[in-house]
Amino acid sequence: MFLPMIAIFYFLLFLPMQRQKKQTAKMLSGLQNGDTVVTSGGIVGTIVTLDDETLVLRVKPDNIKLQVARSAVSSLVSSSSSTEVKK
């Protein structure tokens, strides 16, 4: 009875968390200049420069530049490669 409960917890809780961590790590490693991102604090900005641990965001409307930790990025809104015009 105990073993099936562990299996259920693994498939319902731990496996999706591992997938989410992998997906987030892949997104963070693929960030580029010009990408629009949302931080965990809700700040929306465009990446100006990247370092290993930090990045600088340009935030509208006054084009303020903020330095944030790379791990603070929660999602990618739009990629710079998807906004380019293909010839």
pLDDT band at 87 (very low <50, low <70, confident <90, very high): very low
Given a cut of 60, is residue 86 above it in pLDDT? no
CB 27 within 8 A of CB 70: no
Which domain, by its residues, includes 59? 2-80
pLDDT digits (tens, 9 = 90+) for 10-29: 888 888 999 999 999 999 99
Kindly state the DSSP code that residue 85 receives in the 8-state scheme.
P
pLDDT(78) > 50: yes
> Structure pTM?
0.74
CATH number at residue 67: 2.30.30
Mean pLDDT for the chain overall: 89
Say how far apart CA 58 and CA 32 lie, in whole Å: 13
Residue 74 belongs to some domain of the structure:
yes
Residue 44 lies in a domain: yes
The structural domain count of the chain equals: 1
pLDDT of residue 10: 84
- CA dist 42 → 14, 32, 39 (Å): 27, 19, 5
